[in-house]
Amino acid sequence: MKKSEPRGFARLIGQDEAKARLKEALEKPGASFHLLTGPAGSGKRLAAKLFAKALLCERPDSDGACDVCRSCQLFDAGTHVDYRELVSDNKGLIPTADVREAIADLHTAPRLGDRQVISIDGEQLNEQGQNALLKSLETPPSFVAFIMTAASEQMLLPTVRSRAVKIRLTNRTSEELDAILLLHGVRDVTERERAVAYADGNPGRALTLVADEAYPELRETALQLFFRLPTRRLADLLTEDAGILKRYKDAGGSRLFALIEVWGEQIRDALVMISGKDPRDSTENERLSHFVSDVLKREDAALRLARCQTALIEMKRALGAHGSVDTVLAHTLLTLRKELHV
């Protein structure tokens, strides 16, 4: 890390409440399990990395890791022996065998300091993998810290999420997004303003938008497709709408994934609205209100929307594993229509 760059939790711009809770956690001894949630691009994985590094640091302070001790240097090099990050295979899932292997070594004492940290992408754990973790989450050794990330806690089994200290990352203000873009070297004011305008408070999306002048059109297409799902005719869904999605996939997988993220945002905000709260970060309140009114015409609206979230996650996994594009798109659209149609 360059000396001019911020250190520790200061690298996570905004998120004052989340950072305060992570700093408090640093001072608490014993085993821990923290679940960091937020949409893709919200910074939850950065927060998890900063927290893990601080837990392992030899001289952490209120700002997090010192960045200069041997432990910090090993962490930055990806060679820290007391840190393990479970990653997915080519099917987009963390193999259950890898989970079992990781927890089999839990009772081995840390070799460098007094902590052992395991970081897990909860979105890449299937039910078997989550169940394999349960006993270790219930009774971990006193020196083990689990850090898990996920877009939503609803993506995890109740038995898993009930054991976690939950910290949610929220959308950033326009000023915070602008500061993030500056930190990443975006000097052009016009580029920053355009990215902030369409990012919906999401740093990852803002960074993508800097190099993507076509995003406004993509976003509007995504919103039109999504908000007509409750009333869309099946034939039109599987021909016209599936064809639009396939063209975005053919133009590059990242284009379709960006469209899926827009859908995921609307489902998240619809769940907030159904709970009686105001999705203050949403830029689509008028269309969203009409959509929610349609969804509420059937029972179990929140449960059906949660199943839609799962369907989108499974769609990304299947496409990432090079599944048949036509089959994956048709299956996902049919699932969403089943849950949302009125």
pLDDT digits (tens, 9 = 90+) for 129-182: 999 999 899 889 999 999 999 988 888 999 999 999 999 999 899 999 999 999
> d(Cα 126, Cα 317) in Å, to the nearest integer?
11
Task: Please state, as a whole number, how many other Cβ atoms lie within 10 Å of the Cβ of residue 19.
Answer: 22
CB 152, CB 40: distance < 8 Å: no
Amino acid at 310: T
* Tens-level pLDDT at each residue, the chain (342 residues): 554 578 899 999 999 999 999 999 998 888 999 999 998 889 999 999 999 999 999 999 989 999 999 999 999 999 999 999 998 877 778 999 999 998 888 888 999 989 999 999 998 999 999 999 998 998 899 999 999 999 888 889 999 999 999 999 998 999 999 999 998 999 989 888 888 887 888 998 889 888 777 878 888 999 999 999 999 999 999 999 999 999 888 766 678 888 898 898 889 889 988 888 776 555 677 888 999 998 998 899 999 999 999 999 889 888 877 778 899 999 999 999 999 997
For the chain, the distance separating the N- and C-terminal CA atoms, rounded to the nearest angstrom, is: 53
* Residue 200 confidence (pLDDT): 81
> d(Cα 83, Cα 117) in Å, to the nearest integer?
5
Q: Which helix (H) or strand (E) holds 274?
A: helix 253-274
For residue 64, the 8-state DSSP code is B
- Strand partners of residue 166: 35
Q: The pTM is what?
A: 0.72
> d(Cα 226, Cα 245) in Å, to the nearest integer?
11
Q: 197 in helix, strand or coil?
A: helix
Rg (CA), the chain: 21
* Residue 91 confidence (pLDDT): 73
**Site of tokens 């059937």:** 298
Helices (H), the chain: 16-26, 44-56, 70-77, 96-104, 127-138, 158-161, 174-183, 189-198, 203-210, 215-227, 234-236, 242-250, 253-274, 285-295, 301-320, 325-340
Number of helices (H) and strands (E), helices first, in the chain?
Answer: 16, 5
* Residue 280 confidence (pLDDT): 53
Amino acid at 228: R
> d(Cα 166, Cα 14) in Å, to the nearest integer?
18
The pair of three-digit structure tokens given for residue 4, joined into one six-digit string: 């001019």
- Taking the CA atoms of residue 77, residue 78, residue 80 and residue 86 in that order, the dihedral angle to the nearest 10 degrees is 170
Burial class (CB in 10 A: 0-12, 13-18, 19+), 41: buried
CB 110, CB 116: distance < 8 Å: yes
**Site of tokens 């999705």:** 279
> d(Cα 342, Cα 340) in Å, to the nearest integer?
6
> d(Cα 329, Cα 342) in Å, to the nearest integer?
21
> d(Cα 49, Cα 188) in Å, to the nearest integer?
29
The pair of three-digit structure tokens given for residue 342, joined into one six-digit string: 């009125």
* Residue 105 confidence (pLDDT): 81
Amino acid at 221: T
* Residue 39 confidence (pLDDT): 85
Angle of helix 301-320 versus helix 253-274 axis, rounded to 10: 170
The pair of three-digit structure tokens given for residue 276, joined into one six-digit string: 């009686």
* Residue 195 confidence (pLDDT): 86
Question: Where in the chain does DSSP place strands (E)?
Answer: 32-37, 83-86, 116-121, 144-150, 165-168
